């Protein structure tokens, strides 16, 4: 079953990627605001339709959780978690850092994952217990042993402004320890590059499940660690994620914990509000 799920995951990501390549850079791209500073395009919708179409052809009874179409129930206990265009703002501005993210989970376990950068034709993939790969080459997280001097990625809580002060305080502590921190604007791709060892770690508050699911499996299958702010496994539910190479992970999480926790984020930004 797992190989068939993985094949479908990869085919679905490729289908979405072809759509994004067709739309990228076009002057007639339709852009609509979902909320303040949060946009959706025709490319998002067409990519999602292509991804879901590939999945439905093979698994018509599986549930779907997708950024644009929301949740649809299935008659089996498998669910596909889809971001058809992670990095929409980059995409609309012509900044070449965006991706398709597809994952399949059963219960709390993510079984397969694909993150595709269609412009560079880089396909990151993983299956539970089967390792993580980029275009067929095995991935390993970085060998860095401490937070000091680490090269990190993050994302700003642009849909959760009430968490900004906590985030900035945490950012400051991490910034003073790290060598550099990048904010590239596509969390799934940041996580993929963490799995590949380009980044030593990643953190962000109040993401959505489709931002995290595929990238989290990539990192764990590449030998890294992923948790919520309290060190637990509820990051898909809370949207608060800390991910890093083993030598960096605990120090990164401890630095963040000085300023933010799951309880604090729940008080500042009740779950669900950040996605509105």
Which pLDDT band holds residue 40 (cuts at 50, 70, 90)? Answer: confident
Residues present in the chain in total: 276
How far is Cα 180 from Cα 152, in angstroms, rounded to an integer?
Answer: 6
Q: From residue 234, how far is each of 136, 149, 172, 208, 272 by CA, in Å?
A: 30, 28, 25, 12, 14
> Which residue stretches of the chain are H helix?
2-23, 42-58, 88-93, 164-177, 187-195, 209-221, 235-238, 246-257, 262-268
User: What is the reported pTM?
Assistant: 0.94
**Rounded mean pLDDT, 33-62:** 86
Cα separation of 220 and 223, whole Å?
5
Average pLDDT over residues 60-64: 95
How far, in Å, CA of 242 to CA of 204, rounded? 7
In the numeric block, the tokens 């072809």 are attached to 18
pLDDT exceeding 90 applies to what percent of the chain? 86
**Whether residue 36 has pLDDT greater than 60:** no
User: What proportion of the chain, given as a percentage, has pLDDT over 70?
Assistant: 96
First to last CA, the chain: 36
Which pLDDT belongs to residue 132?
98
How far apart, in whole angstroms, are the C-alpha atoms of residue 30 and residue 51?
20
Mean pLDDT across 42-55:
95
pLDDT for residue 276 is more than 70: no
Looking at residue 191, what is its pLDDT? Answer: 98
What's the rounded Cα separation, in Å, for the pair 67 and 40? 10
């Amino acid at each position: 079953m797992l190989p068939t799920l993985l094949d479908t995951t990869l085919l679905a990501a490729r289908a979405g990627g072809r759509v994004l390549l067709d739309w990228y850079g076009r002057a007639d791209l339709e852009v609509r605001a979902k909320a303040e500073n949060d946009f959706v395009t025709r490319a998002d919708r067409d990519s999602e339709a292509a991804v879901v179409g590939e999945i439905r052809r093979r698994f018509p009874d599986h549930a779907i959780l997708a950024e644009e179409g929301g949740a649809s129930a299935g008659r089996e206990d498998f669910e596909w978690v889809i971001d058809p265009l992670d990095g929409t703002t980059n995409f609309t501005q012509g900044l070449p850092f965006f991706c398709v993210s597809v994952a399949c989970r059963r219960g709390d376990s993510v079984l397969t994952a694909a993150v595709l950068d269609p412009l560079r034709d880089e396909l990151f993939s993983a299956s539970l217990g089967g390792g993580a790969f980029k275009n067929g080459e095995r991935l390993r997280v970085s060998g860095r042993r401490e937070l000091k001097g680490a090269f990190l990625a993050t994302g700003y809580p642009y849909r959760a402004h009430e968490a900004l002060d906590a985030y900035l305080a945490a950012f400051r502590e991490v910034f003073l320890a790290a060598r550099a921190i990048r904010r590239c604007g596509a969390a799934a791709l940041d996580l993929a590059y963490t799995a590949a060892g380009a980044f030593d770690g990643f953190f962000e508050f109040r993401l959505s499940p489709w931002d995290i699911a595929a990238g989290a499996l990539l990192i764990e299958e590449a030998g890294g660690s992923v948790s919520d702010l309290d060190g637990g496994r509820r990051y898909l539910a809370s949207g608060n994620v800390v991910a890093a190479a083993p030598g960096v992970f605990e120090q990164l999480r401890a630095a963040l914990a000085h300023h933010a926790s799951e309880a604090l984020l729940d008080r500042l930004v009740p779950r669900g509000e950040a996605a509105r």
